[in-house]
């Protein structure tokens, strides 16, 4: 399906660079990024539903935040 979208010029330039680096077309890169965001969105909704049905304790939430912060820090340092 063909769609027309407007993008900030700097964002479009960064997508163009990323697409070339990944060896895909501009629209292929955008499509993959959109699909990734939809998967994350679905996962967040599922987690929210699960949490409504069986909420985590404050201790479990704190442990999860700590683990996530650690994982994100490692990823940003190139270890993930």
> 45 with 37: CB under 8 angstroms?
no
Tokens of 33: 């990024």
Structure confidence at residue 79 (pLDDT) = 56
Splitting the chain (80 residues) into consecutive groups of 10 residues, what average pLDDT does each group show?
A: 93 97 97 95 92 90 91 77
pTM: 0.65
């Amino acid at each position: 399906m063909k769609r027309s979208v407007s993008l900030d010029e700097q964002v479009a330039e960064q997508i163009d660079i990323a697409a070339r680096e990944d060896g895909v077309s501009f629209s292929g890169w955008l499509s993959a990024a959109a699909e990734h965001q939809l998967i994350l969105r679905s996962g967040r909704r599922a987690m929210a539903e699960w949490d409504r049905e069986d909420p985590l304790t404050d201790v479990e939430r704190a442990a999860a935040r700590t683990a996530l912060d650690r994982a994100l820090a490692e990823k940003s340092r190139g270890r993930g």
